Amino acid sequence: MANVEKHGGRADNPAWPTNVPEGFHPVSETLSRTVGAASPYGDDLELPIPPEKLGYVHPYTRINR
């Protein structure tokens, strides 16, 4: 760990976030409650959503003959 100072405290991983507030740790997949990336819609979204709640109306095309 002699070269930690050369990389600004990030050790050897240049992808390690640099904008973490003092006293906090960056959340990685190993520390998170869920696997994968965090959802931009929040954690309270349950998938799959029932079709009644979607508000989707399938388009209907009447063919000209």
pLDDT digits (tens, 9 = 90+) for 12-59: 677 777 777 787 777 766 666 666 666 777 777 787 888 888 888 889
Q: Which residue has the higher pLDDT, 1 or 47?
A: 47
What pLDDT is stored for residue 9 in this prediction? 53
The answer to whether 8 and 18 have CB atoms below 8 angstroms apart is yes
Q: Is the pLDDT of residue 6 over 80?
A: no
25's torsion region: left (phi>0), alpha (psi -120 to 50) or beta? beta
Rounded distance between C-alpha atoms, residue 31 and residue 37, angstroms: 12
The answer to whether 53 and 47 have CB atoms below 8 angstroms apart is no
Q: Where are the domains of the chain?
A: 1-33
The answer to whether 37 and 31 have CB atoms below 8 angstroms apart is no
Q: Which residue has the higher pLDDT, 14 or 60?
A: 60
Going 26 to 29 to 34 to 36, the CA torsion angle's sign is positive
